[in-house]
A and B are shown apart, each in its own frame.
Chain A
Amino acid sequence: MRDRSGGGIVVRGATYIVLAGIIAPVLLMFAVSFTETKYIAFPPKGFTWQWYRAAVNDPEFVSGLSISARVAVISSLLSAALGIMGGLTLTRYAGRFERPLTVLFIAPLTIPIIVYSLGLLFFFSSLGLVRSLLGLIIGHTVMTFPYSVRMVTAALGRMAREVERAAAVLGATPWQRTLRVTLPTIRPGVVAAMLFSFLISLSNVTIALFISGARTQTLPVIMFQRAKHEVSPEMAAMASAMVVMTFALMLVLERRYGIYEFLERRRGA
């Protein structure tokens, strides 16, 4: 039986218009990244990969990508490690402190990123950490930590506690239990937390915009600086390349763990 709860054809048409509005700008950007002209043109004139080559040969782009990659790799590893600790704390050891600790762990999500970035700028200024890679890594780790905690906590919640108890009965020390029983069981959740943190770190602009220096500019910051001056096919190529990278990672996440679950988690305030 057909569901006609929303008035059928009108809703359908209107939905497609809205969705076209969402996807069109991104598609247009892809299209103009292939134009042979030096200015952006639609429909693109001819077809060329030269702007992608130009981006890859652009020292700023390469250094931005390398800074971004370093920060994302280290902060996502740290975030996942802290996420494991946080998950274990909340599900095993927190006891009556579970609620306040949950609030504290999720707090970085509830503060607007612009507010945290400003705070970091002032804080790192007094510590001498502004413009350093370490500062960026710390900021990104704090920002992604709540997501990691949630994912690991969920994985721990799904896990059968009997296995741990069996290990305890058989004489495993707490360390052995954690390392050889608990961690292998929740590995998918941990890997997902890491990939998700990596993705967020890679796409974040605001923190780096406030605290990165001339030599520690992430790719999004470099793109921001240029966006103020020009709209060029090369910039479109850079941005398109980032979309492809994001979706490739998203695909891995979806294939292995299902996308919806993460997005549900991501939106919770």
Chain B
Amino acid sequence: MDALERHLTQVTSAVRVRGALQRGWLPALLVAFLLAFFVAPIGQMALYGFYTYHPFRLMDRDITLTNYLAIVRDPYISGILIRTLRLAAIATLLSAGLGYIVATRMRQARGLEKMVLALIVLSPLMISPIVLAYAWLVILAPNTGLMSSAFKALGLTPPRIMFTEYGVLLGLVYSYMVFMVLSLHAALENIDLSLIRAAQTLGASPRVVFSRIILPLSLPGLVSGSLLVFAVSSSSFLMPLILGGRQIPVLATYAYDLASFVLNWPAASAIAISLALVTLVTVVAYTTWINALQRRLGVLEG
């Protein structure tokens, strides 16, 4: 048995050495593909962010920091930056609140109910964002939307939701709450039910059970879900564009405006790169947190 194993290893490693040269092209081809069509476009854009805007020639190759500095210095752009981060933070909080409720029920549910719950929760992830935006448009559109006609039929003034921050927030929570629910669901599934029963037997109220047992034990799920929702919300594009429009610009939609209509490519580039950095920082925080957690759990188990 041992001899056979050794023989097999020898044969395969011989094949491996012979194949190594032929195989080098496989990774090389992929790396070339990604360098050409992923790294290069992002790299070029990072460079554009340092170029100088010129109203007639699109841009000059004079290197400047203006575009990046303007994001913090220009009150209009920094206002958009702050709004983007604020809306993403509120959307994360709302998602966490609603997410706990839905994930708790999902954990309790069995059979058909569980399947239907999962299908509905996951549906915003499967359906094209333009379709989701359109579904909300049917309800919220000023004058022609269902909500507007319902209020008018009752003789009331319809509330303005579209083209306000509430509309954008609604779109964000609607689109991305699913990430929070999935994270929390995974975390809640891992909590030992007997802990909760023990607490209840000892007379703990639902509030105490939540704050002393469920919340601390599901904290990893809450943190990873929050970082995920924050990352996708702060770079969300279509929902803010359709439900917020020009009235409520966020970084993503403002960059689109600059690139497609104002044709200020340097400013658009600088904003896009900053947006990527915000996401990158969030993702790095997420990975670091997960790794630290795994190390700590590993220590506990070991």
Residue ranges of A at the interface with B (Cβ–Cβ < 8 Å):
3-7, 11-12, 14-15, 18-19, 21-23, 25-26, 28-29, 32, 39-42, 82, 85-86, 88-89, 92-94, 97, 101, 104-105, 107-108, 110-116, 118-124, 126, 138-139, 141-142, 145, 165, 168-169, 174, 199, 202-206, 210, 220, 223-224, 227-228, 230-231, 235-236, 239, 242-243, 246-247, 250, 259-260, 263-264, 266-267, 269
Contacts and interface: CB of A to CB of B under 8 A. Distances in A.
A224 B8 CA distance: 59
A18 B38 contact: no
A116 B41 contact: yes
B157 interface: no
A184 B178 CA distance: 35
B190 to A, nearest CB: 13
Contacts, number: 262
B170 to A, nearest CB: 9
29 contacts: A6-B101, A6-B105, A11-B108, A12-B105, A14-B105, A15-B102, A15-B117, A25-B138, A28-B139, A82-B33, A88-B26, A107-B34, A110-B279, A112-B232, A112-B237, A116-B41, A118-B255, A119-B272, A138-B37, A142-B34, A168-B12, A199-B126, A210-B256, A220-B130, A223-B130, A227-B130, A231-B144, A239-B134, A250-B126
Contacts of A242: 127-128, 131
Interface string B7-35: 01001100100111011101101110110
B176 to A, nearest CB: 10
A239 B259 contact: no
Contact of A122 (B30, B44, B137, B242): B44
Contact of A231 (B27, B145, B275): B145
A165 B16 CA distance: 11
The 9 closest A-B CB pairs, nearest first, are A112-B235, A203-B128, A119-B41, A6-B104, A123-B41, A15-B105, A25-B135, A7-B206, A114-B237
Given A94-B27, A119-B45, A169-B11, A5 B193 contact: yes
Contacts of A124: 41
Nearest to B58: A125
Given A119-B272, A227-B130, A18 B123 contact: no
A145 B44 CA distance: 21
Q: Which label, helix, strand, loop or mixed, suits the secondary structure of the A interface?
A: helix
B79 interface: no
A115 B146 contact: no
Contacts of A120: 41
A114 B48 contact: no
Contacts of A139: 37
Contacts of A116: 38, 41-42
Contact of A26 (B8, B48, B135): B135
A107 B117 contact: no
B248 interface: no
